[in-house]
Amino acid sequence: MMLVMIGLLACHSPGEGLTLEELQDPETCAECHPDHHSQWSGSMHAYASEDPIFRALNEKGQEETEGGLGDFCVQCHAPLAVELGLTTDGLDLDSVPDHLRGITCYYCHQIESVTDDHNNPLQLAMDRTMRGALRDPIDNEAHPTAYSALLDRDEAESSHACGSCHDIVTPLGAHIERTHLEWKDSLFSQPLFGLNCGSCHMSGRDGVAAEVEGVPLRRIHDHSMPGMDLAVTPFPEAGAQRAAVQEILDDTVVSFLCVQPPTGDTSLAVVSLENVAGGHYFPSGATADRRVWVELVAYSGDQIVWSSGDVAADEPLLGREETDPDLWRLHSTLLDVAGEPTHDFWEAADIDYGELLVVQTTLDPTDPTYVQTHRSHNYLIRGGGFDRVTLAVKARPVPLDLIDSLIAEGRLAPEIRDEIPTFTLGPTMLEWTADVPVNSGSLACVPEAPPASASAGTSP
Ligand code: HEC
Ligand code: HEC
Ligand code: HEC
Ligand code: HEC
Ligand code: HEC
C-alpha cells in the first residue's frame, strides 16, 4: 500500500490528484478501493455493454429500424461512452476503450441531478470530484470528494438516481421495465420504511472505504449488486456473482403447498407464493425476458405420476402450455402494435404484465391500494395413487428460445446457450407426503399453516 502512495506521489504532486482521464478508468480506483473494484468488476453494471445478448439485440434493433433506435439502448448500457461521444448506436462498442464501457465508477459517482423518472435522465458533473454518502471523508491524493443525497442509500433521492435508469419506456410508448415505479408505489418508498434501492442492494459492513493510511473504520457498501442475471462469457468474479445471485433469489419468495390426499383419479393441489424481500415485483425489470415458473411433481414411490413445469435446464418454456396446461409462469409479454407477442423491445407498443408477484403498497387493509401479496394457483393432479408431491420455483434470466433465434440468425455464438443459468429458489422447495395431516378443509398443507388465500386459488 505504501508503494501505491509513493507511486501516486511520484506522478502527481500532493493536491494535484488524478487527471479526468485517469479518474474515468476503474483500474485507477482499484489501487485504493480494491474491494469496491473487485465487487463492481463482476457486476452486471460492469458487464452492461459486454453482454453478447445485449450486443446481438441492439444490432438486430438497429438493423430492423434502419438505425432509428439510435442511442436508445446504449444510453443506459454504455452511458459514459455516450456522454463522451464515443458511440451513438452501440454498433462500434469494440472500438470504445474497455474502461469507458458499461456503468462505471466514474459514471455513478459523477451523478449531479436527476431530471425525469425513466430512460436514464441523469446529468453528470464531468469534473474530478467523487460524490458519495460520506459526510466526513478524509482528504486523499487522488480526487476531491463531496456529499450527495443522490448517492446516499438512506435518502429517497438515491432511489431516483438508480431508478430512473431502471425504468424503460420504449420509443413506441410501452412502459416495459418498471422497477422504479413499482418501488415508488410500494411500502418501501414511504418514509416509515425508507428502504431505498441501495438499502437492499448495497449491504453494509464495517471496513475501510479506502486502503490508505489513516482512514477510519466505517460502514462500507457492497457493489456487486446481484439480481438474476449472470455474465455468459468469461468475466471476473463469476463464482462470487453466481453465489450472490443464488443468495438474493433464495431470500425472495416464500411458498406453501396444499394437497388433497388422493382418493380417486384427480386431486386438487394449491401452490401459494409470496414475494417477501423484493422492494418491487418479482421478477422485476426485464420481466418480459425473465422466466420464472413453478415445478410441481407427484410421485408414487420413485415413479412420476404427474408433473407440471418439469422443464430441463436446457429446455425452452416456449409452447409448453400445449402439453402442460396447468403450467404457472410468472413473467410479462411484450406486445407489438398489432397486439401480437414480440421479443423485440423496439417493437413493443404495450406490455401484458402477466402474473408477477406484487409488492405491498400499504399496511392498511381498508386502503383501496391494498393488495393480496399471496398468489395462488390450483392444479388438478391426475392419475391418482401418489404418495409424494414436490414443489420448486425456478428462475432463468433469459428465454432459451430467444437465445436459439439469435444463434440461428448468426448474431450469437452457439456456446452461449450452455451458459444460461436456471436457478432453483432453494427455500421454495417443499415436499408433501401422504402422512401430512389434513389441516385446511380437505387439504393437507406444508408448512402446516397455509396462508388465508390458499383455499381460494385463482386458476385453472
Ligand atoms: C490514492 C488513493 C485513492 C484513489 C486512487 C481513489 N480514491 Fe477514492 N477515496 C480515497 C480516500 C482516502 C477516500 C476517503 C475515505 C474515507 O474517508 O474513509 C476516498 C473516498 C472516495 C469516495 C467517497 C466520497 C464521499 O464523499 O462519500 C468515493 C465515491 C470514491 N473515493 C471514489 C473513487 C473512484 C471512483 C476512484 C477511481 C476513479 C477513486 N476513488 C480513486 C482514496 C482514493
Ligand atoms: C426491500 C428490498 C429491496 C428494495 C428496496 C429494492 N430491491 Fe431490487 N431486489 C430485491 C431482491 C430481494 C431482489 C431479488 C429478486 C429478483 O431478482 O427479482 C431484487 C432484484 C432486483 C433486480 C433484478 C430483477 C429481476 O427480476 O431481474 C433489479 C434490477 C433491482 N432489484 C433493482 C432495484 C432498484 C433499481 C431498486 C430501487 C428503485 C430496488 N431494486 C429496490 C430487493 C429490493
Ligand atoms: C451503480 C452506481 C455505482 C457504481 C457503478 C459504483 N458505485 Fe460506488 N457507491 C455507489 C453508491 C450509491 C454509494 C453510497 C452507498 C451509501 O453509503 O449509501 C457508493 C459508495 C462508494 C464508496 C464509499 C464507501 C462505501 O462503501 O460506502 C466508495 C469508495 C465507492 N463507492 C467507490 C466505487 C468504485 C471504486 C467503483 C468502481 C469500481 C464504484 N464505486 C462504482 C454507487 C456506485
Ligand atoms: C446508467 C444506468 C444505471 C444506473 C444509474 C443504475 N443501473 Fe443498475 N443496471 C443497469 C443496467 C443496464 C443493468 C443490466 C446490465 C445487463 O444485464 O446487461 C443493471 C443491472 C442492475 C442489477 C442486476 C440485475 C440483474 O438482474 O442481474 C441490479 C441489482 C441493479 N442494477 C441495481 C442498481 C442500483 C441499486 C443502482 C443505484 C445505486 C443502479 N442499479 C443504478 C443500469 C443502471
Ligand atoms: C432506461 C435504461 C435502459 C434502456 C433504454 C435499455 N436497457 Fe437494457 N437493461 C436496463 C436495465 C436496468 C436492465 C436490468 C434489468 C433487470 O435486471 O431486470 C437491463 C437489462 C438488459 C438485458 C439483460 C437482461 C435481458 O433482458 O436479457 C439485455 C439483453 C438488454 N437490457 C438489452 C437492451 C437493448 C437491446 C436495449 C435497446 C433496445 C435496451 N436494453 C435498452 C436498462 C436499459
Spans of all domains in the chain: 2-48+103-221, 239-448
pLDDT bucket at 454, cuts 50 / 70 / 90:
very low
Supply the pLDDT for residue 451. Answer: 54
pLDDT at position 393 over 80: yes
Ligand 3 centre to CA of 223 (Å) is 7
C-alpha cell at 114: 436527476
Ligand 3 centre to CA of 109 (Å) is 7
Please give the biggest Cα pair distance in the chain: 85
C-alpha cell at 245: 445471485
Nearest CA among 111, 235, 224 for reference residue 163? 111
pLDDT bucket at 108, cuts 50 / 70 / 90:
very high
CA distances from 46 to 27, 336, 390 (A): 12, 31, 38
On whether the CB atoms of residues 87 and 96 are closer than 8 A, the answer is yes
Supply the pLDDT for residue 448. Answer: 81
| Closest C-alpha residue for ligand 4 atom 15 | 48
Ligand 4 centre to CA of 118 (Å) is 13
Q: Is the CB of 30 under 6 A from ligand 1?
A: no
Cell 415445478 belongs to which residue?
295
Average model confidence (pLDDT) across the chain: 93
pLDDT at position 1 over 50: no
How far apart CA 120 and CA 16 sit, in angstroms, is: 32
Nearest CA among 102, 122, 120, 136 for reference residue 24? 102
Q: What is the pLDDT of residues 26-69, one digit of tens each?
A: 999 999 999 999 999 999 999 999 999 999 999 999 999 999 99
Q: Is the CB of 58 under 6 A from ligand 4?
A: no
On whether the CB atoms of residues 229 and 349 are closer than 8 A, the answer is no
Q: Is the peptide bond before 447 cis (omega within 30 degrees of 0)?
A: yes
Type of residue numbered 138: I
Ligand nearest to C-alpha 45: 4
Q: Is the CB of 81 under 6 A from ligand 4?
A: no
139 contacts: CB under 8 Å, gap ≥ 6: none
Q: Is the CB of 249 under 6 A from ligand 3?
A: no
Type of residue numbered 382: R
pLDDT at position 9 over 70: no
Residues in the chain: 460
Cell 399453516 belongs to which residue?
449
Using the atom order of ligand 4, give the atom closest to the CA of residue 50. Answer: 18
Q: Is the CB of 342 under 6 A from ligand 5?
A: no
The fraction of the chain above a pLDDT of 70, given in percent, is 94
On whether the CB atoms of residues 351 and 176 are closer than 8 A, the answer is yes
Q: What is the pLDDT of residues 322-355, one digit of tens each?
A: 999 999 999 999 999 999 999 999 999 999 998 9
Supply the pLDDT for residue 8. Answer: 40
Q: Is the CB of 73 under 6 A from ligand 5?
A: yes
On whether the CB atoms of residues 171 and 69 are closer than 8 A, the answer is yes
Q: Which residue has the higher pLDDT, 384 or 30?
A: 30
On whether the CB atoms of residues 394 and 219 are closer than 8 A, the answer is no
Nearest CA among 239, 217, 167, 229 for reference residue 197? 167
Ligand 3 centre to CA of 43 (Å) is 13
Cell 417443499 belongs to which residue?
430
Cell 438474476 belongs to which residue?
228
Say if residue 210 is exposed, middle or buried (CB neighbours under 10 Å; 0-12, 13-18, 19+). Answer: buried
What is the number of other CB atoms lying within 10 angstroms of the CB of residue 95? 9
439 contacts: CB under 8 Å, gap ≥ 6: 445, 448, 449, 450
Q: What is the pLDDT of residues 267-286, one digit of tens each?
A: 999 999 999 999 999 999 99
Q: Which residues of 179-199 are buried (b: 16+ CB within 10 A; e: fewer)?
A: bbbbbbbbebbeeeeebbbbb
